[in-house]
Chain A
Amino acid sequence: MKFRGKIVDGACLNHFTRISNMIAKLAKTCTLRISPDKLNFILCDKLANGGVSMWCELEQENFFSEFQMEGFSAENNEIYLELTSENLSRALKTAQNARALKIKLTNKHFPCLTVSVELFSMSSSTRIATHDIPIKVIPRKLWKDLQEPMVPDPDVSIYLPVLKTMKSVVEKMKNISSHLVIEANRDGELNLKIETELVCVTTHFKDLGNPPLASESTSQDRNPEHMAEVHIDIRKLLQFLAGQQVNPTKALCNIVTNKMVHFHLLHEDVSLQYFIPALS
């Protein structure tokens, strides 16, 4: 298995660094899937993660000026690696004002992802910083658990408000209760509710707008003001919101009543999907 890629454009480098920082905040350990035209950061819904799953996808040609890979085999031309996300984001921190960034799969005592950054220097000599990030190659038989999750038909699909506002609201709510209710309707209204014996707090967001639904049949039957709700663990929502440092280009939320909430964000050309299951 082989992989090597090079990023020379400053803007692409910064974007890639931001994505890596976001992944580091969302998942401690994640899977990196390398295929001929895409890179994916995957977190599968194991019990260890509390049932949360994540699927982040980016087109490699939007970032890399050079990209070569050779997967497991000709039919399965993909590479699945497990790594500690923070190691990658920290290695990329040095790439802030870099001339070029090279990533490749190497084997130095054990498999590594070697990130080498060529920095600008005041004089003629270049400064090169290299990081060998240890990784684990995931065997072929486990690949089936790491496929793109199926998105069930949502009861309600709604655009999210400014994430920073949502985050500060949820942060304060976390101190009162660990159980949060998200509800939304087709009239552009979203509510965040917490309830304890002593107090009940609700934050209302209005005029958010709803994206057009794929299946029109269900939409006819329902009253647009009818709220679809799901009960989730507030800390999982907070972790998701904390990872969003930059406001996304597009952000929407799909609610399947009492089953789960699915967040779909677009950061320029990188898509992120985050699934939080309902509390049982």
Chain B
Amino acid sequence: MLKCVMTGSQAKVFGKAVQSLSRISDQLWLDPSRKGLALRSVNSSRSAYGCVLFSPVFFQHYQWSTLVKMNENEHDTTLNLKCKLGMKSILPIFRCLNSLERNIEKCKIFTRSDKCKVVIQFFYRHGIKRTHNICFEESQPLQVIFDKNVCTNTLMIQPRLLADAIVLFTSSQEEVTLAVTPLNFCLKSSNEESMADLSNAVYSEMFVGSDDFDFFQIGMNTEITFCFKELKGILTFSEVTHAPISIYFDFPGKPLALSIDDMLVEANFILATLADEPSRASSPQSLCLSQKRKRSDLIKKKAGKNVTGQTLECISRKAAPRRIYPKETLTNISALENCGSPGMKRANGDISEVSESSVSNTEEVPGSRCLRKFSCMFFGAVSSDQQEHFNHPFDSLARASDSEEDMNNGRFSLS
């Protein structure tokens, strides 16, 4: 269902993408589609997501197809590649990228769905061939939907500058705070550490003037805190691209997006930020309500907007309120999911059903939707009033049109 061929230098970029996603988690989804080959990774606490999308023209040859299963009840289900690889399996293959770039003539990646394997082959000079067979686990890829265009604050900076700022911070520091004003940018150690640690930890901060940025648009003074380790991930990838890094963010609690758009490759890293909620231990009910409100606000904004294939769509993802209590957050969420409908699976079904069809339609949709929306984790609380919020035309949402194309029975290939 996937077959692609790359040159040595393309394989280097591919390998760097794998390395940068390894900073997020130790599992990787290989997700080929019409738009190209996407590599996705989500961390275990669901607070960071990375996706590198290689467009079909990046490769020397790119061929992708879906398997169509003919069902008895006239609903053909399209089965996309649900391929999840362990980082431990794929990372060692893309080691020594510089020598890889110099020595290989061709790199071929293809899947053998009959054996649940991904085959990666390197072709060297003199007829030498190196083949790796990696078993994959069948798992539906996750995707975060986030519209960068509605963010109040947008920055574009050369990766080198950001890398220099990162040197300031010790690897023991988990979180960094980004503080911006319309004139200024400051990266500093997070103040969230407990007082006991403060006496030992170095507090660092770095100011960068707005002139050093390629693009600097700040809608409002903001201070957001996020995990530092994942920032390094996108910096790793920036070493092989020539585009600046764009940073999109809003208020604390709303995710931060870091992206690099180098025409043939697009990388997006979406990180949760700490929300400065006055009451962190909010009852599940109130959490539920505020999420619904936010979501409806954003969807209102989006109505009538033309979303291109490349931009990710918008459903606000409310970040875990306090990352140091991930367990607590998760239990809250599961409580949410149960409040309104019996099980999570059912909740997912309800959500996708509502968004992908018109409001009045309440029929069951096939379970195998193309991509399980990440945001479902946080918006699992389904009650009948949720449907009222969806009184908006959905024709403009690309997701609706995507679902039509996924129903296509044909093979789709680009070379």
Contact = CB atoms under 8 A, between A and B. Distances in A.
Interface of A: 84, 87, 90-91, 93-94, 108-110, 112, 119, 121-134
Contact of B206 (A90, A108, A122, A129): A129
B204 interface: yes
A93 B199 CA distance: 21
Given A93-B167, A94-B168, A132 B202 contact: yes
19 contacts: A108-B203, A121-B212, A122-B212, A124-B209, A125-B209, A125-B211, A127-B206, A127-B208, A127-B209, A127-B212, A128-B206, A130-B204, A130-B205, A132-B202, A132-B203, A133-B202, A134-B198, A134-B201, A134-B202
A121 B164 CA distance: 11
Given A94-B167, A110-B199, A124 B211 contact: yes
Given A125-B211, A125-B212, A126-B209, A131 B168 contact: yes
Contacts of A109: 198
B180 to A, nearest CB: 14
Q: Closest 8 A-B residue pairs measured CB to CB? A: A125-B209, A123-B211, A129-B206, A132-B203, A131-B204, A125-B211, A87-B202, A128-B207
Contacts of A126: 209
B170 interface: yes
B113 interface: no
A20 to B, nearest CB: 13
Nearest to A116: B205
Interface of B: 164-165, 167-168, 170, 198-212
B206 to A, nearest CB: 4
A129 B198 CA distance: 19
B6 to A, nearest CB: 35
Q: Which of B167, B170, B206 has the most CB of A within 10 A?
A: B206
A90 B201 CA distance: 12
A104 to B, nearest CB: 15
B212 A134 contact: no
Nearest to B169: A90
A131 B202 contact: yes
A229 to B, nearest CB: 42
Contacts of B168: 94, 129, 131
Contacts of B164: 94, 119
Contacts of A90: 170, 202
Contacts of B198: 109-110, 134
Given A110-B198, A119-B164, A134-B201, 13 more contacts: A91-B202, A91-B204, A94-B206, A112-B203, A125-B208, A125-B209, A126-B209, A127-B212, A128-B206, A130-B204, A131-B202, A131-B204, A132-B202
A129 B205 contact: yes
A93 B167 CA distance: 8
B363 to A, nearest CB: 58
A130 B164 CA distance: 13
Contacts of B211: 121, 123-125
B228 to A, nearest CB: 14
Contacts of B204: 91, 129-132
B200 A123 contact: no
Contact of A123 (B167, B201, B212): B212
A93 B163 CA distance: 13
Nearest to A122: B212
Contacts of A134: 198-202
A271 B161 CA distance: 36
A90 B170 CA distance: 8
A132 B168 CA distance: 12
A121 B201 contact: no
A121 B165 CA distance: 12
A127 B201 CA distance: 23
A94 B168 CA distance: 6
Given A93-B167, A121-B212, A127 B202 contact: no
B209 A121 contact: yes
A186 B342 CA distance: 89
A129 B164 CA distance: 10
Nearest to A129: B206
Contacts of B207: 127-129
Nearest to B205: A130
A128 B209 CA distance: 9
Contacts of A130: 204-206
A119 B161 CA distance: 11
A133 B200 CA distance: 8
B166 to A, nearest CB: 10
Contacts of B209: 121, 123-127
